[in-house]
Structure 1
Amino acid sequence: MAAAMGLEVEDRPSDSPFVERVWRSRSFAVDRMMSVANPYTELVFWGGPGRIRVAVQGPESRAGLAPVPPDTWFFGITFSLGTALPQLPARLLLDGGIELPEVTDRRFELAGSRWFRPGFGNAEGFVDRLVREGVLGRDPVVAAAVDDHRLRVSLRTVQRRFLATTGLTPTAVRQILRARQAAMLIMEGVPPVEVVHTLGYFDQPHLTRSLARYIGRTARQLRRVDPAEPLSLLYKTEPPANA
């Protein structure tokens, strides 16, 4: 577990085709963070003394400051690209979210049913149940594009299906994931000029604009730790090849 910048964060990949990442964190001595752009839908649980809350969080089209409640734990399931809840269209979730009702210490309500609250170690079993009950699904066209499979549909169809499941165009998804990858490389010490070449940016000003829009940081700021304003979860990923 890594403790840094006002947040303790732990995350892991998943072998479920419906799950991109499982994560948990705890806030301390911080009241805001930079929420970086994110093409994924998430189911997020958080709580402190006396109350637990649950929300479905939509993709974020650009970076922005977000409040962080003090002394609060968080747990999230980040769904893979193309995975969506049919009852909650992407257009209702983009750059926002919907808080779920009827939450107790052990249960919460989703899609008209009551569910036991999952944990960091059993997230995939919970997701499997959502899939079996038809609450969660994955668009095969988007999944094929993400997995670099040959597509037998038109580019227009791919664009339409990305919009339906993420609220974003394939180009926007690619740009967001590339910016996230660029930020990770810079934070690891890779020079910006090398990042430009590796990830196919036109030049350094192009990289700078992308980082500002999607990460909310310059390359120089990414190399410094700001304990008063941490970044939301970042990890290595690859843009969809055929989107």
Structure 2
Amino acid sequence: MPHPTFPPVRSRPPAGTGPEGTDHRERPAPAVGGTLWTRPPRPVPGTARILPDGCMDLLWSEGRLLVAGPDTRAHLAHDPPGRDWLGLRFPPGTAPLVLGVPAVELRDVRVPLTELWSAAEVRELEDRLARVAVPGAVLEEHAAARLRAAPPLDPRLRAVVRAAARPGLRVAALAERLGLGERRLHRHCLAAFGYGPRMLHRVLRMRRALALIDAGRAPAEAAHTVGCADQPHLSREVRTLAGVPSRELRRTGP
């Protein structure tokens, strides 16, 4: 029986100073409910602005496996020429089950996978990835095996993701509906997502607003749709979480 996963979160290619946006490719990774993505080598150095999305990634580049934890702010990735990337993006809450550590321990950091798994397991997986023609399938398969061996997901956390993705999150009401106190709910969220439900709500709200703007909606309309008080409220949130105004993301993005 497949291991249940959280609803997938739609991604947005990274904004950057190089040509990586048009080369960023994604496909579903159904075995973990996530996304496999690739970015081929570039001829010149570049910087990608990776925006918070509530997710965590298992990364493969230059023969090494890394983990990107949940971000509370934009992460600037500086790449030399010739470096390619393969990533397995887990939906909110899934990665801790695969990695075996609470998400909060990885908040806003990138760490070698050897800090989380045994050196032998990581070395064997890295060797397999280096030998095969389609390393994404191997990475997904290995993560799925770990997910199947993990304890089942708490359905209350799936409810948190659904609530956080909608406008007008009320944490006290959510905690009561789930039969948890607010502090206990916060602790569960730290372990699963790396931050509390309010922060998850802010991140998912920003991502949805940017997706609407990318699709041609006016910023004021996008702000209203996602539950911001007004367009200035959305602008402040984007600047806080992305580090630049939304117009700058549109200018530098793909």
Coarse TM-score class (shorter-chain normalised): 0.7 to 0.9
Selected match of 2:52 from 3, 24, 37:
37
Q: What is the rounded CA distance, in whole Å, between the counterparts of 1:180 and 1:27 in structure 2?
A: 26
Write the letter of the residue equivalent to 1:126: H
Write the letter of the residue equivalent to 2:218: P
Q: CA deviation at 1:123?
A: 4.6
Write the letter of the residue equivalent to 1:169: G
Q: Which residue number in structure 2 is paired with residue 127 of structure 1?
A: 143
Q: Which residue number in structure 2 is paired with residue 145 of structure 1?
A: 160
Q: Which residue number in structure 2 is paired with residue 90 of structure 1?
A: 103
Q: What is the rounded CA distance, in whole Å, between the counterparts of 2:153 and 2:61 in structure 1?
A: 25
Q: Is the 8 A contact 2:56 2:89 kept in 1?
A: yes
Larger mean Cα displacement after TM superposition, 138-147 or 68-77: 138-147
Q: What is the rounded CA distance, in whole Å, between the counterparts of 1:119 and 1:73 in structure 2?
A: 13
Q: CA deviation at 1:201?
A: 0.7
Change (3 A) 1:75 1:210: same
Q: CA deviation at 1:44?
A: 0.6
Q: Which residue number in structure 2 is paired with residue 75 of structure 1?
A: 86
Selected match of 1:191 from 203, 211, 218:
218
Alignment of 1:204 onto 2:231: yes
Q: Which residue number in structure 2 is paired with residue 213 of structure 1?
A: 240
Change (3 A) 1:98 1:222: closer
Q: What is the rounded CA distance, in whole Å, between the counterparts of 1:218 and 1:144 in structure 2?
A: 31
Percent identity of equivalent pairs? 29
Q: Which runs of 5+ in 1 are unaligned?
A: 103-108, 232-243
Greater RCO, CA 8 A, separation 6+: 1
Output one character per residue of 1:94-120: Cα deviation in whole Å (capped at 9) or x when no partner.
100221349xxxxxx934534343733
Q: CA deviation at 1:209?
A: 0.8
* Bigger helix share: 2
Q: Which residue number in structure 2 is paired with residue 110 of structure 1?
A: 117
Q: What is the rounded CA distance, in whole Å, between the counterparts of 2:200 and 2:188 in structure 1?
A: 13
Q: What is the rounded CA distance, in whole Å, between the counterparts of 1:27 and 1:182 in structure 2?
A: 30
Larger mean Cα displacement after TM superposition, 30-39 or 93-102: 93-102
Change (3 A) 1:20 1:130: same
Query: What secondary structure is seen at the aligned counterpart in 1 of 2:183?
Result: helix
Q: Which residue number in structure 2 is paired with residue 54 of structure 1?
A: 65
Query: What secondary structure is seen at the aligned counterpart in 1 of 2:65?
Result: strand
Q: CA deviation at 1:215?
A: 2.4
Q: Which residue number in structure 1 is paired with residue 204 of structure 2?
A: 177
Query: What secondary structure is seen at the aligned counterpart in 2 of 1:185?
Result: helix
Q: CA deviation at 1:197?
A: 1.2
Q: Which runs of 5+ in 2 are unaligned?
A: 1-12, 164-173
CA RMSD of aligned residues (A): 2.9
- Pairs aligned (count): 213
Q: What is the rounded CA distance, in whole Å, between the counterparts of 1:66 and 1:164 in structure 2?
A: 25
Write the letter of the residue equivalent to 1:26: P
Q: What is the rounded CA distance, in whole Å, between the counterparts of 2:210 and 2:110 in structure 1?
A: 25
